[in-house]
Amino acid sequence: MTPTHKDIGKVHIAVGDLVRHAKLTEFVDHHWFNYGLRAAVYTYGTTSPAPTLPPMLAKQIPSFHYYRVRTTLAELTDPAFLRPLLKDTTLQFAALSIRTRIDQHDTFAITPTGELILDLTKDTYEVSGLTGTHSPFGERNPRFTVRIDLRADAYAPGHKYYERVRWSFANALTAPCDFWLTCVDTATGKSHPLTCPDGWMAQNILSEPRWEDPIPNAPTTVDRQAALIIPDVREWALSDPRTADKLLWHGTAQDFYEWLGMEVNASPQIRAGQSTNSYLSTYTVPSPHRPGRVAAVRWTGLILPAQVHAVQRALTTSLATLPSRAEEDQGEPWATLAAWGFRDTPVSYGTKSHGFLVSGENDFTLAYWPDGRCVAFQANGPLDKAS
């Protein structure tokens, strides 16, 4: 089936076969700056113990590293440091300024494609001497975006373009800034070590997978292995949105995505035997539903697409090893991979501009079934060109 897109406000949905349709992988390929990543497996039934992600998942996805440095744009973009990393096609390198708010400060990013993106305030832009474009999200506080191709032949000593950029970094954009840097193997997603100059005060930060407590911060009186009430949406996932009842299909999609949010946030309202004050919330799990279990693992840091793909491969391979309980009328297991983007990144998907109004969401969730079926949800804040 050819993937089709449906727009539910700021949530976009793609449906298809993960193997045959590259459109579904674009959520991963083009989402360069991920701050959080979560893999989860859901199984139906309560007679078996709570599931654990198969050992192969933990073995295939090692811990990874990223670096925190403090340096200037001139030093960060020095060809002696940067060019070998950008020219090596077996590596993905990226950098992102931190503690810089996209609606208030100058923000900087180097994408895995080798493009330096400067999202500048009006005052900074006017003294930079660089040529850019008006930011689409600067109505109240004008902002400008400058894009510099660091892989271009013109970005090399002796070229006027290079000399103009270097002059700007040496004379105008001189303030040091905190950055997160990372470099990974494109094929495996494994971290590649970086050798940073001593003056950068580089910190090598280890990001280890954290296995989630079924009910975090729960009091001792709560059954921590209490079953989830999980919606049974396989029939919906197998349906073709082009021929299905549109209102029903969209409604089920919204209900399912809302439930995923409740589960990620460990809401007691989707736990068997747990009750909440109906005055505070009238939420109910969508029908049909069954009791079941979840096991989840999470990473945080600066996470690149190659690493997300590595987790995705391990997750879908592991999912295929879990036994189906369909013959017992307990349904098939399924899995999700959720990624959260940085709220203050200058771009979200590819080179699409990103801003911050009351929120800066640029997230996606992929839901998988053992037969390769995949449903992808993309959620964006109101100021995002990917919307």
Q: pLDDT band at residue 176, thresholds of 50, 70 and 90?
A: very high
Tell me: the pLDDT tens digits for 309-363?
A: 999 988 888 888 877 655 555 678 899 999 998 877 787 776 665 555 556 668 8
Whether residues 37 and 158 share a domain: the answer is no
Predicted pLDDT at 62 = 67
10 lies in which domain range? 4-61+209-380
Whether residues 261 and 371 share a domain: the answer is yes
The total of other beta-carbon atoms located within 10 Å of residue 330's CB is 19
Q: How many domains does the chain have?
A: 2
Q: What's the CA gap between 347 and 31, in Å, rounded?
A: 9
Out of 190, 207, 224, a domain closes at 207
Mean of pLDDT values over 208-213? 78
Predicted pLDDT at 66 = 96
Out of 172, 190, 207, a domain closes at 207
> Is it the case that residue 219 has pLDDT exceeding 50?
no
Tell me: the pLDDT tens digits for 9-56?
A: 355 666 666 545 556 677 788 888 999 999 998 888 765 545 566 666
74-78, 291-295, 342-346 — which one is most confidently predicted on average?
Answer: 74-78
Whether residues 266 and 368 share a domain: the answer is yes
Whether residues 188 and 226 share a domain: the answer is no
Whether residues 20 and 32 share a domain: the answer is yes
Residue, of 163 and 102, whose pLDDT is higher: 163
Mean of pLDDT values over 130-137? 82
**Is 312 part of any domain?**
yes
Residue, of 145 and 10, whose pLDDT is higher: 145
Predicted pLDDT at 180 = 97
Predicted pLDDT at 346 = 81
Query: What mean pLDDT value characterizes the chain?
Result: 81
3-state secondary structure of 301: strand
Q: To 10 degrees, the CA torsion angle through 166, 171, 176, 177?
A: -60
The total of other beta-carbon atoms located within 10 Å of residue 96's CB is 25
**Is 387 part of any domain?**
no
Q: What's the CA gap between 345 and 363, in Å, rounded?
A: 12
**Is 17 part of any domain?**
yes
Out of 185, 207, 229, a domain closes at 207
Q: What's the CA gap between 199 and 225, in Å, rounded?
A: 50
56-60, 104-108, 145-149 — which one is most confidently predicted on average?
Answer: 145-149
Residue with tokens 């729960």: 218
> Is it the case that residue 387 has pLDDT exceeding 60?
no
Over pLDDT 90: what percentage of the chain? Answer: 36
Whether residues 195 and 104 share a domain: the answer is yes
Q: pLDDT band at residue 267, thresholds of 50, 70 and 90?
A: confident
Whether residues 14 and 79 share a domain: the answer is no
Whether residues 30 and 79 share a domain: the answer is no
Q: What's the CA gap between 356 and 381, in Å, rounded?
A: 7
**Is 385 part of any domain?**
no
Query: What's the number of CA atoms in the CB half-sphere (13 Å) around residue 98?
Result: 16
Contact 56, 320 (CB under 8 A): no
The DSSP code for 286 is P
Whether residues 151 and 191 share a domain: the answer is yes
> Is it the case that residue 2 has pLDDT exceeding 90?
no
